[in-house]
Structure 1
Amino acid sequence: MKSMQRLMMLIALFAAINSTAQTTTDPKMKPFIDALMKKMTLDEKIGQLNLPGSGDIVTGQASNSDIGKKIKEGAVGGLFNIKTAAKIRAVQKVAVEESRLKIPMIFGMDVIHGYQTTFPIPLGLSCTWDLKLIENSARIAAVEASADGICWTFSPMVDISRDPRWGRISEGSGEDPYLGSQIARAMVKGYQQNDYSSNTSIMACVKHYAAYGAAEAGRDYNTTDISRISMYNNYLPPYKAAVDAGAGSLMASFNEVDGIPATGNKWLLTDVLRKQWGFKGFVVTDYTGINEMIDHGMGNLQTVSALALKAGVDMDMVGEGFLTTLKKSLAEGKVTQKDIDDACRLILEAKYKLGLFKDPYKYLNEERAKTDIYTPAHIKAARTTAAESFVLMKNQNNLLPLKKGGTIALIGPLADTKENMPGTWSVATDLKTAITVREGLQNVLGSNAKILYAKGSNLDADSLFEQRATMFGRDLVRDGRTAQQMMDEALAIANQSDVIIAALGESSEMSGESSSRSNIEIPQAQKDLLMVLVKTGKPVVLVLFTGRPLVLNWEKANVPSILNVWFGGSEAGNAIADVLFGDVNPSGKLTTTFPQNVGQIPLYYNHKNTGRPLTDSLWFQKFRSNYLDVSNLPLYPFGYGLSYTTFSYSDIRLSSATLGKTGNITATVTLKNTGNRDGAEVVQLYTRDLVGSVTRPVKELKGFQKIFLKAGESKAVTFTISAEDLKFYNSEYKFVAEPGDFKVFIGGNSVDVKEASFKLL
């Protein structure tokens, strides 16, 4: 017992050390920056707040470019979307050798789910429920990005979203604030490593603060209208978790909050972020975020620039509102010298923390790009991570895994497209190196099976829609044949085959920024193809590509097996083949609810009850909260995902029926692998607060563990519950745990759970 106590004390000590490592300030930083700022002119201070894009910079002309001239004048604080150590060195050289005060610049990029080695889109990553795997993906991204001169990433995106019509749901971690918070911490740690002493640690920029994922109608950049109590309980937790993890910067969101755009919202950027949470980093706008407040109706460029600065924005991305108006606003008394100085100091502090004043070329070792980018170890990690992210949604009669033999028909517009495998926001990826499904099957099968291929259909019957859905070099090369001709070819090879693999769904740019959809079904041209393939009577496996939850009613009812592969990254094709043929047993679980139709949206597991909930029936009851034409149930619930094996759960065993304000209780189930394959199960813990001073959700995720069991093996899985886990924000925005009755649920998804009860004293 004493040795266990010592171990727990050591763990607590290491945790404290890690926590303080993020927040401890170098005592030399303040006097250094004080002295520097005394030398700076007003124009130079304002220049630090300016973040243009890389613009017209080309190799060998950095000094003579328009941006180069501004850098010499001290009018640029950093650049983004410029890469390679050679190019960045040339620009940094202008800053530190040709400007008056030789202040280095910070260089950022959208390193969202990997750099050149690309991992699954963030929504897919979240479906691994594996925090170490997720942290490692960010660590590898930081190693590669820093080897190309980048020291700042506009990631992680931690927006909670309950609306799959919103394209950027693909870039976040789903609908749950608890899981989103855990992933936010893991990503920040992966990028920053608790400090910036190494040249492989880069600064995270948490986005989009705040509540961007609640855009009305799922339409990007749209209005949001959320109560503050919902913001505190549902939308803000992942941002706070990232701040608590030591994130160096935040990005303001495009949407409004309480009628004021986030970019100019003092309550959001100062009262909550700095005063309540103690954030010490800097805030940057999103692309032209200040300028966009003009169309929101907040005033002209000078007015909105002053509003943003006074609200708590420190750096202006692209819009140059700060650069062109703050001097005038200062003269007119609309901003103060302290407002400008405070913002400037935070930018300089970020550069100091990154070690750029000590060595402006810290991240510019060109040899690292030869050894640290797209390495065999990174490629292997990408393949493993992709396979862990896939969600097996249906597997009738154990069709999967497939045998490595016979003749296989591979059909679909997404079966042989390198450009669409990495997914949206993979800006640094070399698309030519991505592995297609066709290549992956060939790599895994070798000469053991015969693969026949046909495209089968275009992405969509509408060529203009397909253009919009394949931007940024993600072209599918539209086939000029008629739909019937393409289908006939597909049927010809299907009839020669033992099994059909249909690679269908969204192209990579059908989700992501500015890719909202009002119809979230598989495009009809592809669905028509799928229907014909199923009619052949051959076994059909749907390999589903998507960046969002889709409406899949027909597919669920008629297709024997459905494997949701999201967009798996560089190694997508290999990982898909690994799972299809059983080299990897899928263990992904959904982090978003799949609706039966768009009319159910927003649909999420942790909803509130109504005063007239459905009682015994799951279907229609008059004068109850439901629909005439569809049940309240999701098509696939949060937390859902199948395996090639099966698992059973015992009843929950509580260590006590009561929980005090201090101390804890444990909830234990015995998990058994009841199938004949080894596999992993994500065991999920939910609670329900039955009576509260404000209404509480019907379930809330409070813990999870990914457990690997060999066939036939059993294991006791234990969760510890304390009063801290039961806290929420009440109507006074105080974080409290209220005494009363609680339910606890444990299971493999948010619906199929065991249940027990306890009381908080």
Structure 2
Amino acid sequence: MSSPRQPLRRRFLQAAAALLAARSAAARPSAKDAAAIERLLRRMTLEEKAGQLSLFFDDAREDAVNANPAQVERAMADLSAEIAAGRVGGLFNGIGVASGRALQRIAVERSRLGIPLLFAADVIHGLRTVFPVPLGEAAAFDADLAERTARAAAEEATAVGIHWTFAPMVDVARDQRWGRVVEGAGEDSWWGQQLAAARVRGFQGRSLRDDDSLLATVKHFAGYGAVAGGMDYNSVELSDATLHDVHLPPFRAGLEAGALAVMTAFHDLNGIPATAHHGLLTGVLRRQWGFEGLVVSDFASDVELVTHGLAADDKDAARRAILAGCDMSMASALYNRHLPALVREGAVPMAVLDRSVRRVLRVKQALGLFERPYRSLDPARERSALRRPQTVALAREAARRSVVLLKNEGHLLPLPAQGQRIALIGPFAQDRVHLMGPWALWNEPAQGVSLEDGLRAALADPAALQVVPGCGIETPLDGGIAAAVAAARAADVVILSVGESDALSGESASRTDIGLPPVQQALAEAVAATGRPMVVVLQHGRALALSGAVRAAPAILAGWYLGQQSGHALADLLLGRHAPSGRLPVSFPQASGQQPFFYNHRNTGRPQERADETRFRSRYLEVTNEALYPFGHGLGYGEIVYEALSLDTDTLAWDGRCQVRVRVRNVGPRAMREVVQLYIHQRVASPVRPVRELRGVQAVELAAGEAASVAFTLSRHDLAHRDGQGRERVEAGWFDLWLAPSAAAGTPVALRLLGPTPSPR
């Protein structure tokens, strides 16, 4: 958000300067600490150095979860012996304080050099308390909320013995066929930058040395969201301009917020696998950006260099990965097995090995592990810090704020809490498992609140609710549709709960058809045929292509995977205790075949200008180019009118400031949280610019009948983009500006940016 008194760019620069200073202080140890690391390096054998660069699955702990089915050769027949030999730098995806202390004791007290272990885990959207998936939370359009949930997740994770999370995922995803869109912030790079920084701040807290600080990892570096065909692990072809302007800025924002870890990706970028991409890992990350933290491979992505066809064998893969700038090997044991020999043979310089070891040791030092190896391993915290009442309340708030009201014809919603018979129908009506979404590794289904649970708790007469599943998620139930139709006919209103299971979204869950499974669509058609008013509640991890009765329903809620408090949050909204306020971070297409589909595309030489002009225009024959529901769209129970969009000047000096403002009025009968979105478009530029680009958001709370003025202050930096070298670029000329409720709404005002004033001779 911004205000007239604090221009967007000035606030960004001030914040960035402070955060960069904090990052540098963490990554660059004091002279005393740096000297201690150098002394340690001189004492280490090649095998011990390779061990510090090796991260293994933590199956020694009592609550370990192997989330990746890939089979890799284990380097350790006896984990304890390997730790004692100094051949393990860290462990991942095991939790539990008692066993964590035991493992750390081996490293500190039995290994020759006493270097502590680094404990890591995939804490993506909560640990024991599960929050909405990141894409859902992005729909809240509130970076502060994202920071608060990340902070709460960090408090729980560190209480069970974790130092490091493999989050946030900051890939920009413009193709909804890709399952991993669920883990990120959606299709917009600017919004991705805001959430990347917020989540890093939340995970890491005030100081990395605090017991509840969780080291953040920005992933997957880089361009993973652009996999061809939306198919996971596929190749990526990106121009330098698109890479630097769209896909890299969220990574940079996360690093500027203080993240000291970066994870590589599975894909190849323009023919070079990301884990061996010297141009990315060394050229961009180290030389251009000055990153001083560690780079870790994704799960066995180093050994996959052989499968890609870049490396001749495992040994060659290890060589290529470390020379490119990948410091730490996850799961594959390649570094443990091959780095000592590679250095002895001269294939990997000792200086390269030492540089990577130094980075890992510095991160451990930044976390305070050398002074306090048992930090975040406190049995008392483990007993007291999980599922605290305030954390559960935050999960309910976040879930409620993440829901997007897509449609509400005839003001069907909110429903009265009494006096109506409600038929709750669908495969997710009673679900307590899939509502968590993918990557909720330590969730407790018994703690999940189903939609039925939430409604029965909120209705004046719980008996007024009849629940019928109707069908399975992807399979029919005997007599299921007939029972659903009977329940609908006996009701005054139907709530239809349909969507995706957690297996239909996330990693390795790419889809060619992003509509509902056919059995659920058949259920919707049958129920709609009864003529009863129908509210559709979607559960999903991507934008969906809605069709038939679901698309025609008078009320539709985009409910994502909302986490443990899903049922309570949805009941709060359906029954009017709270009003929906979410906005779409991804565009809902009219059909699956429109993918990739995103609002901030460039124009063509033959754009679709009129709906009746179908020949010789840039469009499909079956559908128009418009989204079914555009980026930024979301309704409330109020009704907002935008009035008097204006600029304080239509000419912006090169080093000047200008203000754009709009008056928003709630003309509806209920309070409303409106998210005012600032979009820009440069009319003439080289290269050509997208039709619109988000450059700011500002939320305003309006009571019924209330109006407020919303203003953004701009400089030329807010009109800039990044060129193919990552440099800021802005050209003088005319810009269109919108303050609007979505990327498809509003009427622009024109602003002319003047060129720089010539220096006097």
1:420 corresponding residue in structure 2: 434
Q: Which whole-Å CA distance do the structure 2 matches of 1:619 and 1:505 have between them?
A: 34
1:359 corresponding residue in structure 2: 372
Q: Which whole-Å CA distance do the structure 2 matches of 1:358 and 1:369 have between them?
A: 21
Q: Which whole-Å CA distance do the structure 2 matches of 1:247 and 1:647 have between them?
A: 39
Q: How many residues align?
A: 732
Q: Does residue 1:672 correspond to 2:665, yes or no?
A: yes
1:495 corresponding residue in structure 2: 489
1:153 corresponding residue in structure 2: 165
1:31 corresponding residue in structure 2: 35
Change (3 A) 1:355 1:56: closer
- 2:673 alignment partner, SS class: strand
Q: Does residue 1:394 correspond to 2:407, yes or no?
A: yes
The letter of the residue matching 1:608 is: R
Q: Could you say which structure has the greater relative contact order, defined with CA pairs below 8 angstroms and 6 or more residues apart?
A: 2
- 1:290 alignment partner, SS class: coil
Residue 416 (structure 1) shift: 0.6
Aligned partners of 1:56 and 1:66 also within 8 Å: no
Aligned partners of 1:534 and 1:558 also within 8 Å: no
Aligned partners of 1:649 and 1:754 also within 8 Å: no
Residue 601 (structure 1) shift: 1.1
1:466 corresponding residue in structure 2: none
Q: Does residue 1:559 correspond to 2:553, yes or no?
A: yes
Residue 244 (structure 1) shift: 1.1
Change (3 A) 1:130 1:666: same
Q: Does residue 1:97 correspond to 2:109, yes or no?
A: yes
Deviation by residue 1:14-72 (Cα, 9 ceiling, x = unmatched): 87545422322441321121111121111111110000101355599xxx971111101
Q: Does residue 1:52 correspond to 2:56, yes or no?
A: yes
**Match runs of 1:67-146 below 5 Å:** 67-146=79-158
Residue 667 (structure 1) shift: 0.4
Q: Does residue 1:457 correspond to 2:500, yes or no?
A: no
Q: Does residue 1:369 correspond to 2:364, yes or no?
A: no
Q: Which whole-Å CA distance do the structure 2 matches of 1:389 and 1:77 have between them?
A: 38
Change (3 A) 1:270 1:599: same
Change (3 A) 1:246 1:555: farther
Aligned partners of 2:61 and 2:100 also within 8 Å: no
1:474 corresponding residue in structure 2: none
Deviation by residue 1:157-191 (Cα, 9 ceiling, x = unmatched): 00001111110011111000000000000000001
Residue 629 (structure 1) shift: 1.9
Q: Which whole-Å CA distance do the structure 2 matches of 1:23 and 1:674 have between them?
A: 50
1:345 corresponding residue in structure 2: 358
Q: Which whole-Å CA distance do the structure 1 matches of 2:325 and 2:308 have between them?
A: 18
The letter of the residue matching 1:419 is: V
2:515 counterpart (510, 515, 521): 521
The letter of the residue matching 1:52 is: F
2:394 corresponding residue in structure 1: 381
2:298 corresponding residue in structure 1: 286
Q: Does residue 1:719 correspond to 2:719, yes or no?
A: no
1:745 corresponding residue in structure 2: 738
Q: Which whole-Å CA distance do the structure 2 matches of 1:17 and 1:240 have between them?
A: 15
1:695 counterpart (688, 696, 699): 688
Q: Which whole-Å CA distance do the structure 2 matches of 1:268 and 1:455 have between them?
A: 49
2:179 corresponding residue in structure 1: 167
TM-score w.r.t. the length of structure 2 is 0.94
The letter of the residue matching 1:103 is: I
Deviation by residue 1:610-665 (Cα, 9 ceiling, x = unmatched): 111123x0344322211222211111111111111110111321111111221311
Aligned partners of 2:55 and 2:328 also within 8 Å: yes
Residue 691 (structure 1) shift: 1.2
2:677 corresponding residue in structure 1: 684
Aligned partners of 2:434 and 2:501 also within 8 Å: yes
> For structure 1, which segment, 190-199 or 536-545, has the greater mean C-alpha deviation from structure 2 after superposition?
190-199
Deviation by residue 1:110-154 (Cα, 9 ceiling, x = unmatched): 000111111101100000001111100000000000001101000
Deviation by residue 1:698-730 (Cα, 9 ceiling, x = unmatched): 100000011111111111000111111111223
Residue 108 (structure 1) shift: 0.5
The letter of the residue matching 2:715 is: S
2:758 corresponding residue in structure 1: none
Aligned partners of 1:116 and 1:430 also within 8 Å: yes
2:342 corresponding residue in structure 1: 329
1:176 corresponding residue in structure 2: 188
- 2:436 alignment partner, SS class: coil
Deviation by residue 1:462-521 (Cα, 9 ceiling, x = unmatched): xxxxxxxxxxxxxxxxx7x42xx1111112222221111111111122100111111111
1:530 corresponding residue in structure 2: 524
Aligned partners of 2:60 and 2:99 also within 8 Å: no
Q: Which whole-Å CA distance do the structure 1 matches of 2:279 and 2:13 have between them?
A: 34
- 2:152 alignment partner, SS class: helix
Deviation by residue 1:281-328 (Cα, 9 ceiling, x = unmatched): 100000000001111001211111111101100000001111111122
Change (3 A) 1:546 1:624: same
Change (3 A) 1:329 1:65: closer
- 1:393 alignment partner, SS class: strand
- 2:216 alignment partner, SS class: strand
Change (3 A) 1:101 1:262: same
2:634 corresponding residue in structure 1: 641
Q: Does residue 1:658 correspond to 2:671, yes or no?
A: no
Residue 734 (structure 1) shift: 3.1
Spell out structure 1 runs of 4+ moving beyond 4 A: 8-19, 56-60
Aligned partners of 2:63 and 2:95 also within 8 Å: no
Aligned partners of 2:219 and 2:262 also within 8 Å: yes
> For structure 1, which segment, 283-292 or 489-498, has the greater mean C-alpha deviation from structure 2 after superposition?
489-498
1:570 counterpart (545, 556, 564): 564
Aligned partners of 1:389 and 1:588 also within 8 Å: yes
Residue 417 (structure 1) shift: 1.3
2:70 corresponding residue in structure 1: none
Q: Does residue 1:242 correspond to 2:258, yes or no?
A: no
Q: Which whole-Å CA distance do the structure 1 matches of 2:11 and 2:684 have between them?
A: 38
Q: Which whole-Å CA distance do the structure 1 matches of 2:318 and 2:347 have between them?
A: 10
Residue 736 (structure 1) shift: 1.3
1:218 corresponding residue in structure 2: 230
Deviation by residue 1:509-550 (Cα, 9 ceiling, x = unmatched): 210011111111111111111111111111111111111111
Aligned partners of 1:620 and 1:631 also within 8 Å: no
Give unmatched runs, 5+ long, in structure 2: 65-75, 755-761
- 2:495 alignment partner, SS class: strand
2:331 counterpart (318, 323, 336): 318
Change (3 A) 1:153 1:10: closer
Q: Does residue 1:546 correspond to 2:566, yes or no?
A: no
Q: Which whole-Å CA distance do the structure 2 matches of 1:752 and 1:313 have between them?
A: 44
Give unmatched runs, 5+ long, in structure 1: 462-478
Q: Does residue 1:302 correspond to 2:315, yes or no?
A: yes
- After superposition, the CA RMSD in angstroms is 1.9
1:470 corresponding residue in structure 2: none
1:274 counterpart (280, 286, 309): 286
TM-score w.r.t. the length of structure 1 is 0.94
